[in-house]
Amino acid sequence: MVVIDRVKEDFYQRISSDHVLVLVYPDVDSLCACKILQTLFKADNTQYTVVCVSGISQLKTAFTTHHDKVRSVVLINCGGGAKLIELLQPEEHICIFVVDSVRPLELDNVYNKGQVHIVLREGEVLEIPDFDDIYDSDQQAEEDGEEEGEEFFSDEEVEDSVTGGKRRRREGEASYEARRKRHLWRRKREEILYKYSEFNYHSTAASLVLYELAWRLTRDNNELLWLAITGLTEQLLHEKTDREMYVTEMHRMQPHVLRLNRSEEETVSAINTMKINFVEELRLDLYRHWTIYDSLCNSCYTACKFKVWSLKGHKNLLEFLADMGLPLVQCKQRFSAMDVQFRENFRSWIDRSAAKFGLDNMAYGSFSAQIGYKIKLSAADMLLSTTALIENPEKSTEEAFLQALDALSWSNVTKILAGIETAKLQQAAIKTHVRNFIDTHQVVCTGPFVYAYVEEGTPNMKYFSRPLTLCKLARFLREAWISSNKRARDYPFILSAPVDLEKGTCLVAGVPCQTEETRRSEFRKAFTQAADRTQANASFDCFDNCVFEMQMEDRGKFFDALTALCTVC
Amino acid sequence: MTRTVNILDLGARCLGEKALELVRELKRSQDGNLPPYNEDGIRQVVEEMRALFEQNQLEVRATTDGERGLLSGIQLRHACLERNQRCLLAYVHHRMTRIRDYRWQTGSVLPPSFRLSLCEQEIQWFTHYNRSLATYMRSIAPTGLDLTQHLQPPKSLLVEVRCLEDYGEFEMEDGTVVLLHKNTQHYLPRSQCEPLIRQGVLEHIH
């Protein structure tokens, strides 16, 4: 069942009286959503348990171990696309609420009355086929279900209608008509289902849905707003949605920001409160916490525009800096340690020079938060730091998840700053890898798509065995490849990296092509079909539709099958 | 003059030094464990006090008999006696406070290591104190209220805890059962989590 209008009554009030099990996928949007939900629960003294699930099998394990202790389960960004009733087999009294940004949602979940509820934001329109097109409540359908369409014109029937009496003939005709109708209905249903599940995309972020709930409960404050903004920024920077949708959502957040951060000239507000304001953010990762030079070299946008791995590109970059009027010595110093005049004028200089050097989409609208005099973070900084914390290679997924969850509260802002340092290492590792790939020409362009492998034994490989970072590397590599081969923009990009050397598995991530402005990907369908054809040992466990795991030996066959599949389509 | 020399013969460098030693000993050990009851030191101070007192008695009798020039000596010794008394009382009282705080922080059972530092009378006092405290706590509420549990009023009913090891099922007072698996985070009633937090199974998240 879909819960849209009465989110407060149908969702929140139903769960806030029991002990709730919250299952969360480890990515930034889900973490922010979880934190918002935790804050709401704390205010209402609702007991809860938070468990991290990164795949379908983990979801099942967590549910089976915990389910007889709880009555309500909330799934955040996991399970929206899986058949929950079949998979989890919950008992009668258990209610499952799903807050998922992945589309398309599994139809069994949407049309289930009673146990599975999908929570959406008010005003969201779900494009789903009608109930009657998918489910036939007619009893006869099951009886005739085994018959194939070919039997319509079987000779026996003709004989029956001839040898039998008039009544039998009429019965035969009636049943033939019914069967034909059913066959047509079934074919139409298959078509509808195929079209429905063809493309995977993302809709409203889970953190935005929960922020809206908090707002309706009038329990929203700057902290929750900041979490919602971080979740939204992830959608843009991790390319889950397109720019238009991001801008629309941003405009929806603006009134909240203005309402909660009213700056009055007369009253002096405490300096230690958090203040959020709107800024035009540059596509330079972490430049306020890094040196300008490092940030230019390691951010995907600028590195690919300038092609910093080549000598000419590097010279171009230095020219750019010179054009801006920033001495190289200053650029190689930490941003906060630069001379005041450079720091203050940096924004205007870069805007002026960016157009000259072809950096058109350098700026985008975003928000930044400030506490006290020392700590100022932009939404992108927060996002990069949280991603680095979640995918910390030294810790297991669950531990890293809990650490990242801790870091999201502003009383632990030192953890975010530590995360920023890790993020810098990660970015540098990604860029070095991309440079290696380009230099050694390891990116292969087969007809319908472009792919690359991360070899075993490459340094810093530990960063790339996690889905989020692998996708980041894939995007960066793709941008880098496109900067040299413009044609490749029309093709999707697939990257594979080893994840577990003992078991011999590797992770495969896909980045869709960006011909239209939408971010729809057909990877899940294509990958499943190719894996079926080659009988590859692949597990589509991960909730991220563009990522899956398989055995390394099957990789070659898989890519061949995928090539064949894509050439056909 | 000859009489003050007698006191110096007692072995103390000057009057009241020994008592000050006792007090200093306690002050130095404030951060650490309670030192054993210094019977020796107390005995010496009491000896000193007795010697001073006897001397004083003699001189008072002599003065009433008519001798002169002894009054300042008597005053000095009296002041010394009072100082010693004050130091001894401070010593005993401070120890008593420490033992009482120990009860509030740790519990009513005396581990042998702590017991060694107490003298007989102190142990008896501890038992009496325990008994009085228990009677009082029982009298507040029908089921008895353990006042020593929360020395600071708790900020909230429920606390956020993280599970550090696999504990298994944990049943709470109202019947709900929670599965404490490693690396899960829970929000549970404070009173029921406290023993697990002390054991180290759960970690309190602020």
Least confident range from A531-535, B28-32, B153-157: namely: B153-157
**pLDDT value of residue A351:** 86
* Residue B79 counted as domain residue: yes
B95-100 average pLDDT score: 92
Residue A385 has pLDDT above 90, yes or no: yes
Residues B106 and B48 both lie in one domain: yes
Beta-strand ranges (E) seen in B156-201 are 158-163, 168-171, 177-180, 185-189
**pLDDT value of residue A440:** 86
- Note whether B178 contacts A: Cβ–Cβ < 8 A: yes
**pLDDT value of residue A503:** 82
A331-347 average pLDDT score: 88
| DSSP string for A490-558 | GS-EEEEEEEETTTTEEEEEEE---SSSS--B-HHHHHHHHHHHHT--EE--BSSTTEEEEEGGGHHHH
Residue B196 has pLDDT above 60, yes or no: yes
- Which chain A residues are closer than 8 Å to B162 by Cβ? 402
Question: Who wins on pLDDT, A149 or A80?
Answer: A80
Distance of alpha carbon A236 from alpha carbon A472, whole angstroms: 13
pLDDT tens digits along A120-129: 888 787 788 8
Residue A143 has pLDDT above 60, yes or no: no
pLDDT tens digits along A472-531: 898 898 888 888 887 777 788 888 888 877 888 888 888 887 655 566 777 888 888 888
Measured CA to CA in angstroms, residue A7 lies from A97, A206, B15 at distances of 11, 14, 83
The SS3 call for residue A376 is strand
**B158 Cα to chain A: minimum distance (Å):** 7
Q: Of A30, A23, A40, nearest to A74 (Cα)?
A: A23
**pLDDT value of residue A439:** 86
- Note whether B136 contacts A: Cβ–Cβ < 8 A: no
**pLDDT value of residue A153:** 39
B141-156 average pLDDT score: 75
pLDDT tens digits along A557-569: 888 888 888 776 5
Distance of alpha carbon A539 from alpha carbon A528, whole angstroms: 9
- Which chain B residues are closer than 8 Å to A66 by Cβ? 179
A225-237 average pLDDT score: 92
pLDDT tens digits along A441-481: 888 887 788 888 888 777 778 888 888 888 889 889 888 88
User: Which residues have CB under 8 Å from B154's CB, separation 6+?
Assistant: B190
- Which chain A residues are closer than 8 Å to B169 by Cβ? 69
Query: Residue B177's domain spans which residues?
Result: 158-204
Residues B102 and B26 both lie in one domain: yes
- Note whether B95 contacts A: Cβ–Cβ < 8 A: no
Q: Do B185 and A66 touch (CB under 8 A)?
A: no
Q: How many domains is chain B built from?
A: 2
- Number of A/B CB contacts below 8 angstroms equals 55
**A187 Cα to chain B: minimum distance (Å):** 46
Residue A420 has pLDDT above 70, yes or no: yes
| Minimum Cα–Cα distance from B170: chain A residue | A69
**Chain A residues with CB within 8 Å of chain B CB:** 19, 38, 41-42, 45-52, 65-66, 68-69, 396, 398-399, 401-402, 405-406, 411
Question: Who wins on pLDDT, A270 or A510?
Answer: A510
Distance of alpha carbon A122 from alpha carbon A11, whole angstroms: 13
Cβ atoms A457, A420 nearer than 8 A: no
Q: How many CB atoms lie within 10 A of CB A485?
A: 12
Q: Do A69 and B205 touch (CB under 8 A)?
A: no
**B157 Cα to chain A: minimum distance (Å):** 8
Q: How confident is the model at residue B124 (pLDDT cuts 50, 70, 90)?
A: very high
Residues B110 and B193 both lie in one domain: no
Q: Of A15, A28, A252, nearest to A121 (Cα)?
A: A252
Measured CA to CA in angstroms, residue A91 lies from A3, A52, A125, B116, B125 at distances of 21, 22, 30, 60, 60
| Minimum Cα–Cα distance from A61: chain B residue | B181
Residue A154 has pLDDT above 60, yes or no: no
- Cis ω for the linkage preceding A104 (within 30 of 0): yes
* Residue B103 counted as domain residue: yes
User: Judging by DSSP bridges, how do beta strands A505-511 and A493-500 pair with one another?
Assistant: antiparallel
pLDDT tens digits along A46-62: 888 999 998 888 899 88
* Residue B8 counted as domain residue: yes
User: Which residues have CB under 8 Å from A88's CB, separation 6+?
Assistant: A59, A60, A63, A64, A67, A96
**pLDDT value of residue A130:** 81
**pLDDT value of residue A517:** 56
Q: Do B162 and A402 touch (CB under 8 A)?
A: yes
Residues B92 and B173 both lie in one domain: no
Q: For residue A486, give the DSSP letter.
A: G
Residues B73 and B169 both lie in one domain: no
Residues B17 and B115 both lie in one domain: yes
Q: Scanning the structure block, which residue is given the tokens 């063809």?
A: A198
Residue B9 has pLDDT above 60, yes or no: no
Residues B186 and B109 both lie in one domain: no
Residues B27 and B122 both lie in one domain: yes
Distance of alpha carbon B162 from alpha carbon B181, whole angstroms: 10
* Residue B147 counted as domain residue: no
* Residue A506, Cβ density class (10 Å: 0-12 exposed, 13-18 middle, ≥19 buried): buried
A383-387 average pLDDT score: 93
Q: Do B162 and A69 touch (CB under 8 A)?
A: no
- Which chain B residues are closer than 8 Å to A411 by Cβ? 206
**pLDDT value of residue B11:** 52
- Which chain B residues are closer than 8 Å to A67 by Cβ? none
Q: What is the dihedral sign for C-alpha A242, A247, A252, A257?
A: positive
Q: Do A38 and B187 touch (CB under 8 A)?
A: yes
N-terminal to C-terminal alpha carbon distance within chain A: 35
**pLDDT value of residue A458:** 78
Average pLDDT taken over every residue of chain A: 83
% pLDDT > 70, chain B? 93
**Which of B156, B183, B189 lies nearest to residue A398, judging by beta carbons?**
B183
* Residue B188 counted as domain residue: yes
A54-74 average pLDDT score: 86
| Minimum Cα–Cα distance from A64: chain B residue | B179
The backbone torsions φ and ψ at residue A398, rounded to the nearest 5 degrees and listed phi first, read -65, -40
Residues B184 and B123 both lie in one domain: no
Q: Of A433, A462, A448, nearest to A492 (Cα)?
A: A448
* Residue B145 counted as domain residue: no
Distance of alpha carbon A414 from alpha carbon A12, whole angstroms: 32
The backbone torsions φ and ψ at residue B5, rounded to the nearest 5 degrees and listed phi first, read -60, -35
Distance of alpha carbon A15 from alpha carbon A73, whole angstroms: 8
Residues B87 and B187 both lie in one domain: no
| Minimum Cα–Cα distance from A49: chain B residue | B186
Question: Who wins on pLDDT, A167 or A198?
Answer: A198
Distance of alpha carbon A147 from alpha carbon A140, whole angstroms: 12
Helices assigned H by DSSP within chain B? 2-9, 17-28, 39-65, 71-105, 112-115, 120-140, 190-199
What are the percentages of helix, strand and coil residues in chain A, rounded to 5? 55, 15, 30
Residues B54 and B113 both lie in one domain: yes
Distance of alpha carbon A467 from alpha carbon A505, whole angstroms: 13
Q: Of A13, A26, A41, nearest to B187 (Cα)?
A: A41
Q: Scanning the structure block, which residue is given the tokens 């935005």?
A: A208
Residue A139 has pLDDT above 50, yes or no: no
Measured CA to CA in angstroms, residue A353 lies from A309, A319, A323 at distances of 21, 10, 7
Q: Of A242, A236, A231, nearest to A207 (Cα)?
A: A231
Write down which residue in B139, B174, B195 finishes a domain: B139
**pLDDT value of residue B2:** 47
Q: What is the dihedral sign for C-alpha A233, A238, A505, A25?
A: positive
Least confident range from A61-65, A438-442, A502-506, B12-16: namely: B12-16
A418-429 average pLDDT score: 91
Write down which residue in B94, B110, B139 finishes a domain: B139
Residues B127 and B166 both lie in one domain: no
Q: What are the beta bridge partners of residue A511?
A: A493
Q: Do A52 and B183 touch (CB under 8 A)?
A: yes
Q: Which two tokens stand for residue A249?
A: 């959502």
Domains of chain A, earliest start first: 3-124 (3.90.1640.30), 131-196 (no CATH), 284-357 (no CATH), 441-568 (3.10.310)
Residue A367: CA atoms inside 13 Å, Cβ hemisphere, count?
Answer: 31
Cβ atoms A192, A129 nearer than 8 A: yes
A104-114 average pLDDT score: 83
